Amino acid sequence: MGAEGIGARVARKEDKRFITGKGRYTDDMVVPGMKHAMFVRSPHAHAKINGIDKSAALAMPGVIDVLDGKQLTEDQIGSLICGWMIHSKDGSPMNMGNWRPLAEDAVRYVGDAVAIVVADTKAQAREAAEAVSVDYEELPAVTDSMAALADGAPQIHPNAPGNQIYDWEIGDSGEVDAALASAAHVTELNVVNNRLIPNAMEPRAALGHYNAAEDHYTCWTTSQNPHVARLVMSAFYNVAPENKLRVIAPDVGGGFGSKIYIYPEEIVCLWASKRTNVPVKWVADRTESFLSDAHGRDHVSNIKLAFDSDNRITAMKVDTVANLGAYMSLFSSSVPTYLYATLLSGQYNIANIHANIRTAYTNTAPVDAYRGAGRPEASFLVERAMETAARELGVNPAELRRKNFITEFPHQTPVIMTYDGGDYGASLDAAMKAADYDGFAARKAQSAASGKLRGIGMACYIEACGIAPSQAVGSLGAGVGLWESAEVRVNAVGTIEVLTGSHSHGQGHETTFAQLVAERLGVGIDTVNIVHGDTDKVQMGMGTYGSRSGAVGMSAISVALDRVQAKAKKIAAHLLEADEADIVIEGGELKVAGTDKTLPWFQMALAAYTAHNLPEGMEPGLKESAFFDPSNFSFPAGCHICEVEVDPDTGVTEITQFVAADDFGTIINPMIVDGQVHGGVTQGIGQALLEGCVYDPGSGQLLTASYMDYTMPRADDLPSFTVETTKTESPSNPLGLKGCGEAGAIGSPPAVINAITDAIGNNDLAMPATPQTVWSAMKA
Amino acid sequence: MYKTNYHRASSVEEATSLMAGADDGKLLAGGQTLIPTMKQRLAAPSDVVDLRHIADLKGISVAGNQVTIGAGTTHADVANSAEVRSVCPALADLASHIGDPHVRNMGTIGGSIANNDPAADYPAAMVALNATVHTNSRQIGAADFFTGLFETALNDGEIITAVTFDAPEKAAYQKFPNPASRYAMAGVFVAKGGGGVSVGVTGAGSDGVYRASDMEAALNTNFSSDALDGTSVDPADMLSDLHGSAEYRANLVKVMARRAVAAAS
């Protein structure tokens, strides 16, 4: 490893601009003649629209136009789609309700967009939006998934009878039922995975600019995947053909999944720009974010875990109902199916697994992937069940897990996935050592002496990252391929630009991707620029989500670098009159191994572009590209241990220590990985202790629509984290990378709840385990 | 925020006349409730009369054991006042835990008690300290001042100028913060003075701040946490919301009272 290569703890290149307030976000973009938009949103959870009177709003100062769903339909703008087809177990395709970018006939959740007001100033647009008079005929609403699937529930979409989107299964129910019937012990648990609101620091925003002279659109947007946004807006929403639509996702302040999807607002801003002939900017305020960003989780599950007399797991049966909200967001259908049920084997050798998943429409914001997307739900279910089983069986929870670990790879689970490698015992050992697991009893006694209840809990999670391979996901219903692209351009002076289809919205790609180049070409990271987030600059790419930018995005760069290195060596061999096989690249030079003959990197680059003296038949220039499609997912795994102290008087939980021992394969920048683990664990602790999205079941109003009621984790809610890593390289990509972006949020919630239930001696504890919830559980 | 007319008053008299001339005027003390409410378009006063530049409303003075705090004194100033710390550290401690540094440097004691948010901290101290609220026209005892949720005895346009109280022998405030907003979900101010023990409770009561008279009786007999064992808080008198049921708040009131007594002892 060089000072800035793979494994170096390099400070983030992008932080100077972020920390000094010089980032360039969508709201920082200003286009001459730009006007401001405000959306008129439904105050009702479910209502018929009988009419919209825009006359008062249109007459208000500064108002340019007020546009509604009828006009959108006149212009043949398409409905929003879900890009992953799921078939129910009876073979029927999922029931996708019609999602118009502006609701025309009915609204289905509080915050559903009905019209857009464009005005000279945002204040004027806001005033006018309040003056748009929508004649709503209120309908009964349902916000809970189980209630939505019950007889007599309000019908939300005409083509989804009983509000069911699909009823899907995986695995062999006959084998599982037989194993349950003959089991020595069955652990059964009902688990709710609480609904969360993502809360990226930067609210969503869009600036749509239609240039009539060129008949061309530009969209600046807060997107994790601008190319996918362009593809979907062109191919499905009929906004403009791809060659007439440029999508730019500049600096983006956090996504956590919520900025993967194409939302109504960017479509409508682009369309409104053409309608009004002015550039139209919309920036969500925080309340709009709460109401209209795609939410996460919201599963209700039952799990049965069968054990033989030797405490080996023989079967698992899972029944889950997932709430997908009022409309099917872009990848919503895949989250409770292929991103969830396929991970139910956890780290364990389980011969038989069956899961049945039903999804429901409700009068709530759409629900889609949120940091972890299905894997936190699976990990929570499996690891709560394992801890419960250990308590019921009267055995050590670590040893029960160890006894059931998968130890041989590749391992084919009964739920599609083939785990490519790992060492689960190593991360369990590392976590237990770091947590001084053996010293727990003494610490518990000490807490008891001061009137506190101490508990310890662990979770051995697995997840699947680097989503791909394209052919596999295509066969499972994905509407897109999940490769990634890269282009490496060596300039005439030897500096380097890397164009990547990945998108950084906090991950630090500008640093880690440059570190890969530094490692391979022996140049400093300051000579490397990472270009991303602009469909006019960068070749088609698939974007960043599912912890895929390392395993897939960097792998594409790696392949392109192979090609650059190969051509550079050919040029150097020619100029140094040596054999190409003897050329090595290091320290900014191309050297002939075993001699003192060298060629500075920049001279090789200059030679490529002057083309005065290149090998016979070689094209000038030095620029290579690659599209990388991995052979499998990668499978990060690890063990998280949480220790808590509960105040029995108030139910307050203090996390006294949190240990994360993770196997992420190769690590490019340990500092950035630590940061990802800290952030992920913080979000997981947020889910476990603090965050809960609550709708009023009668009115469908969002009760947690601000930070006064929605509890975001704060620094003083958190302990100082202990982060350990173990390493087995992923064999599924050239760098051995696995992915670290979501693991923290996947492993931590079950570890926290296992610790609290251990402390209070009641296993029935809902998330978020607020002081009130813990206090009530202690009294139950 | 809706459009409004902003006025900077330089004296209480000027503020009074500006309010009299306004259609629907609002007094701005520190603005930590009013401004967010206006930004959320939940309040739309025609005129805002800013009291923050009236020198007479600011300052802390202690004469003997009588404490006078100008209505325009910020929480940070109370928290950092050596005089308050020396005669009534419990009040400085209370002020040091209101909101965050931004709120403490803008919010004022007069604004807090005039707003009488059921989850605000100062009202508990005012009732427990038997404070007197001084306005531009009269003096009102704390017991009569707080009349219900967000309700006070103030008349329209009446301006609080100061609060006074006799420093207690012992006092302490303990609050249990709402996990999200960090406002008090139950806050108990216990004071022991010449007139006996007073217990002011905020954040929990369904009618806002109140005096816990049975706790006071128990503590007048025996000023110790254990004396509260025989008392009970009726959940029927408690607020209930997303974050804390009436039963949970009733428990918290007792726990916070015990801790306040322990801290004061």
> Is the pLDDT at A616 greater than 80, yes or no?
yes
Q: Based on the domain organization, do B179 and B204 belong to the same domain? A: yes
Is residue A38 domain-resident? Answer: yes
Partner residue opposite A711 with nearest CB, options B40, B176, B180 = B180
Q: How far apart, in Å, are the Cα atoms of A159 and each of A114, A358, A430, B259? A: 21, 16, 52, 59
Expressed as residue numbers, the domain containing B120 is 60-166
Q: How many CB pairs under 8 A join A and B?
A: 39
Q: Could you tell me if residue B154 is inside a domain?
A: yes
Helices marked H in B117-245: 122-128, 142-145, 213-221
Distance of alpha carbon A661 from alpha carbon B207, whole angstroms: 50
Query: Distance from B251 to chain A by nearest Cα, in Å?
Result: 8
Shortest CA gap B20–chain A (Å): 28
What's the rounded Cα separation, in Å, for the pair A233 and A218? 12
Same domain, A529 and A656: no
Token pair 């001459």 in the structure block, residue: A32
At B206-264, the pLDDT tens digits run 999 999 999 999 999 999 999 999 999 999 999 999 999 999 999 999 999 999 999 99
Q: Say which CATH number the domain at B10 has.
A: 3.30.43.10
Indicate the DSSP class of residue A236.
T
Q: Which of B166, B196, B229 delimits the end of a domain?
A: B166
CATH code, domain carrying B203: 3.30.390.50
CATH code (residue A584):
3.30.365.10
Q: Quick one: A720 and A583 in the same domain?
A: no
- Residue B25 forms beta bridges with which residues? B47
In a domain, A155, yes or no: no
What's the pTM? 0.97
Say yes or no: B260 and B227 in one domain.
Answer: yes
Interface probe with B: pick from A122, A194, A650, most Cβ of B within 10 Å: A650
- A557 and A498 part of one domain: yes
* A-chain residues near B181 (CB < 8 A): 707-709
C-alpha distance from B245 to closest chain A C-alpha (Å) = 8
Domain identity same for B66 and B157: yes
Asked if the structure places residue B55 within a domain, the reply is no
| Model pLDDT for residues A497-545, shown as the tens digit of each residue | 999 999 999 999 999 999 999 999 999 999 999 999 999 999 999 999 9
A487/A440 same-domain check: no
> What is the separation of C-alpha A109 from the centre of its chain, rounded to a whole number of angstroms?
23
Do A678 and A760 sit in the same domain of this protein? yes
Are residues A440 and A498 both part of a single domain? no
Within a domain: residue A187?
no
pLDDT tens string B133-156: 999 999 999 999 999 999 999 999
Tell me the shortest Cα–Cα distance from B124 to chain A, in angstroms: 20
Same domain for A462 and A519? no
Sign of CA dihedral A60, A63, A64, A66: negative
B195 or A208, which is more confident: A208
Contact state of B248 with A707 under an 8 Å Cβ cutoff: no
State the nearest Cα–Cα gap between B23 and chain A, in angstroms. Answer: 21
User: Residue A731: how many CB atoms within 10 A of its CB?
Assistant: 15
- Residue where a domain terminates, one of B109, B139, B166: B166
- Within-domain flag for A596: yes
Shortest CA gap B22–chain A (Å): 23
At residue A468 the predicted structure's pLDDT band, cuts being 50, 70 and 90, is: confident
Q: Do A775 and B251 touch (CB under 8 A)?
A: yes
Per the structure block, which two tokens stand in for A707?
């930070």
C-beta atoms of B242 and A703 within 8 A = yes
Residue B45 falls within a domain, yes or no? yes
Report the residue from B40, B179, B251 with minimal CB separation from A770: B179
User: From chain A, which residues contact B within 8 Å (Cβ)?
Assistant: 287, 649-651, 690, 694, 703-704, 707-712, 770-772, 775-776
Q: Is the distance from CB of B40 to CB of B6 less than 8 angstroms?
A: no
User: Where are the extended beta strands (E) located within A435-495?
Assistant: 453-462, 484-490
Other C-beta atoms lying within 10 Å of the C-beta of residue A635 = 28
Do the domain assignments include residue A189? no
Which residues of chain A neighbour B40 with C-beta distances below 8 Å?
A: 287
Residues B121 and B153 in one domain: yes
Listed in order, strand segments (DSSP E) in B128-264 are 132-135, 139-141, 146-148, 151-152, 160-166, 170-177, 184-193, 196-202, 210-211
Q: Test A771 with B179 for CB contact under 8 angstroms.
A: yes
- Testing the interface with A: which of B4, B102, B242 to mutate, by most A Cβ within 10 A? B242
User: Do residue A574 and residue A438 come from a single domain?
Assistant: no
Residues B89 and B24 in one domain: no
Q: Tokens for A356?
A: 């049945």
Q: Are residues A117 and A238 in the same domain?
A: yes
User: Which structure tokens are listed for A354?
Assistant: 């069956």
On whether the CB atoms of residues A735 and A742 are closer than 8 A, the answer is no
Residue A659 lies in a domain: yes
Confidence band, pLDDT 50/70/90 cuts, at residue B265: confident
pLDDT tens digits, residue range A305-345?
A: 999 999 999 999 999 999 999 999 999 999 999 999 999 99
Q: What is the pLDDT of residue A466?
A: 87
Write out the residues of chain B at the interface with chain A, using a CB-CB cutoff of 8 A: 40, 176, 179-181, 242-245, 248, 251-252, 255
Q: What is the pLDDT of residues A95-152, one digit of tens each?
A: 999 999 999 999 999 999 999 999 999 999 999 999 999 999 999 999 999 999 999 9
Tell me the chain A residues in contact with residue B252 when contact means C-beta distances shorter than 8 Å: 650
Question: Which residues, at least 6 apart from A309, have a Cβ–Cβ distance to it below 8 Å?
Answer: A184
Longest dimension (CA), chain A: 85
Instruction: Kindly report the CATH number assigned to the domain that includes residue B110.
Output: 3.30.465.10
Q: What is the DSSP letter of A551?
A: I
Distance of CA B148 to the CA centre of its chain: 13
Question: Is B232 found in the same domain as B138?
Answer: no
A657 with A612, same domain: the answer is no
For residue A210, give Cα distances in angstroms to A25, A74, A274, A376: 20, 18, 5, 41
Angle at A189 between CA A432 and CA A361, to 5 degrees: 115
Find chain B residues with C-beta within 8 A of A704's C-beta.
Answer: 180, 242
A141 to chain B, minimum CA–CA distance in Å?
A: 20
Residues B46 and B128 in one domain: no
Burial A262-294 (b: 16+ CB within 10 A, else e): bbbbbbbbbbbbbbbebbbbbbbeeebbbbbbb
pLDDT of A365-391, one tens digit each? 999 999 999 999 999 999 999 999 999
User: What pLDDT score does B1 carry?
Assistant: 87
Q: In what order do the strands lie in the sheet containing B47-50? A: B5-8, B47-50, B25-28
Does B182 share its domain with B250? yes
Q: Give the total number of structural domains in chain B.
A: 3
A649 vs B248: CB contact, 8 Å cut-off? no
**Which of A628, A658, A675 is at the close of a domain?**
A628
How far is A291 from A742, CA to CA, in rounded Å? 24
Of A455, A524, A468, nearest to A754 by C-alpha is: A455
Domain boundary among B146, B166, B186: B166
A547 belongs to a structural domain: yes
Both A745 and A665 in one domain: the answer is yes
Number of domains in chain A: 3
Residues B99 and B132 in one domain: yes
Q: Measured between beta carbons, which residues in chain A are less than 8 angstroms from residue B244?
A: 772
Q: What is the complex's ipTM, to 2 decimals?
A: 0.96
Query: Is residue A189 classed exposed, middle or buried when 0-12, 13-18 and 19+ CB atoms within 10 A define those classes?
Result: middle
* Domain range for A89: 31-139+201-254+259-292
Q: How many CA atoms lie within 13 A of A105 on its CB side?
A: 7
Contacts of residue B180 in chain A, CB cutoff 8 Å?
690, 704, 707-712
Pair A453, A596 in one domain: no
